[in-house]
């Protein structure tokens, strides 16, 4: 096997390893939801990689026909049933909105609709929730509300807070599927936020040296006196252009330095 064949083989191994690592970044979570009535079912969340959309599969039975607000809530506490799950998951401190709105809670997942038999069987994707990082929904509550979510579009006092979706018909806690546990995500260079601008460190003025070029063979270096910092008080600032080149102070050094 020549060097080129070895190189191609190594590239193939690296490509397969990268593909395998990419597959291993899949994360899956599930919530088993129940209610005070007959509502029961499962909601599955799948994220195929860091920064990817989360795919949601909802299958719930026993709901009243029609639309129901569907939200991730901030707490995973069921000690007092659905009432102890807190408010909508809203780490960005935004107003309530719809799933496709720019202004919304992270936990605002819009409405799900039960058919005439009270069954919801639907899938959708969301770009804002995540199964890893600061917006992870793992360990938080999931609530199906009694009424339709108005998506923050009405004048009701609760519209911008909860969507006026009414009581909590069913709920559960979002837990990790142990077969697809969350892995630490390192963002790529394109995903990393640029570093904030830094204040330049203070440094004292350094002497400037003037090398005259009017005589081709003259390469004497003359030090200039340190000048004051901008803006100058004796000239307009900024100076008009063309700006005169600074001239050395008139003196004759005892030992000119040549280079």
Averages of pLDDT over each 10 residues, the chain, 259 residues: 52 43 73 91 94 96 97 96 95 94 95 97 96 94 97 95 95 90 59 46 46 50 49 51 52 54
Count of CB atoms situated within 10 Å of the CB of 160: 18
127 carries an active-site annotation: no
Whether the ω angle into residue 83 lies within 30 degrees of 0, i.e. cis, is no
- For the chain, the structural domain boundaries read 24-176, 205-259
Whether the ω angle into residue 231 lies within 30 degrees of 0, i.e. cis, is yes
The pTM score is: 0.63
Pair 246, 222: CB distance under 8 Å: no
CATH class of 24-176: mainly beta
Residue 49 is predicted with a pLDDT of 87
Residue 204 is predicted with a pLDDT of 46
**7-11: long-range contacts (C-beta < 8 A, 24 or more apart)?**
none
Residue 25 is predicted with a pLDDT of 77
Residues with Cβ < 8 Å from 106, sequence gap 6 or more?
72, 89, 90, 91, 92, 128, 129, 135, 137
Residue 222 is predicted with a pLDDT of 46
Cα 107 from chain centroid? 15
88 carries an active-site annotation: yes
Helix (H, G, I), strand (E, B) or coil at 143: strand
Out of 99, 104, 140, 168, the active site residue is 168
Out of 71, 99, 104, 140, the active site residue is 71
73 carries an active-site annotation: yes
68 carries an active-site annotation: no
Out of 108, 126, 149, 150, the active site residue is 108
71 carries an active-site annotation: yes
Q: Where are the beta strands (DSSP E) in 49-150?
A: 54-61, 66-73, 79-82, 108-114, 120-126, 141-145
Residues with Cβ < 8 Å from 79, sequence gap 6 or more?
none
Strand partners, 31: 43, 174
Out of 105, 126, 149, 150, the active site residue is 105
**What distance in Å separates the CA atoms of residue 237 and residue 141, rounded to the nearest whole number?**
62
Residues with Cβ < 8 Å from 226, sequence gap 6 or more?
205, 207, 208
105 carries an active-site annotation: yes
Residue 191 is predicted with a pLDDT of 45
96 carries an active-site annotation: yes
Out of 99, 145, 149, 150, the active site residue is 145
Question: Which candidate, 7, 66, 46, 6, places its Cα nearest to that of 180?
Answer: 46
Out of 73, 99, 104, 140, the active site residue is 73
Out of 96, 99, 104, 140, the active site residue is 96
């Amino acid at each position: 096997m020549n060097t080129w064949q070895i190189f191609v083989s190594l590239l193939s191994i690296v490509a397969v390893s990268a593909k395998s690592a990419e597959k291993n970044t899949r994360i899956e979570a599930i919530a088993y939801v129940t209610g005070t009535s007959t509502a029961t079912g499962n909601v599955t969340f799948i994220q195929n990689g860091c920064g990817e959309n989360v795919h949601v599969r909802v299958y719930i039975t026993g709901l009243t026909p029609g639309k129901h607000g569907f939200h991730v809530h901030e707490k995973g506490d069921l000690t007092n049933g659905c009432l102890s799950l807190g408010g909508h998951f809203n780490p960005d401190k935004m107003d309530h909105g719809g799933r496709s709105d720019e202004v919304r809670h992270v936990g605002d997942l819009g409405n799900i609709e039960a058919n005439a038999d009270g069954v919801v069987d639907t899938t959708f994707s969301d770009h804002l929730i995540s199964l890893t990082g600061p917006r992870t929904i793992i360990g938080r509550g999931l609530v199906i509300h009694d009424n339709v979510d108005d998506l923050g579009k009405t004048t009701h006092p609760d519209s911008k807070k909860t969507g006026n979706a009414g009581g909590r018909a069913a709920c559960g806690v979002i837990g990790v599927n142990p077969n697809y546990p969350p892995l630490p995500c390192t963002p790529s260079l394109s995903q990393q936020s640029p570093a904030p601008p830094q204040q330049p460190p203070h440094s004292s003025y350094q002497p400037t040296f003037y090398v005259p070029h009017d005589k081709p063979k003259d390469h004497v270096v003359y030090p200039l006196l340190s000048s004051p910092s901008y803006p100058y008080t004796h000239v307009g600032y900024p100076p008009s252009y063309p700006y005169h080149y600074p001239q050395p102070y008139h003196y004759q050094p005892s030992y000119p330095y040549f280079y």
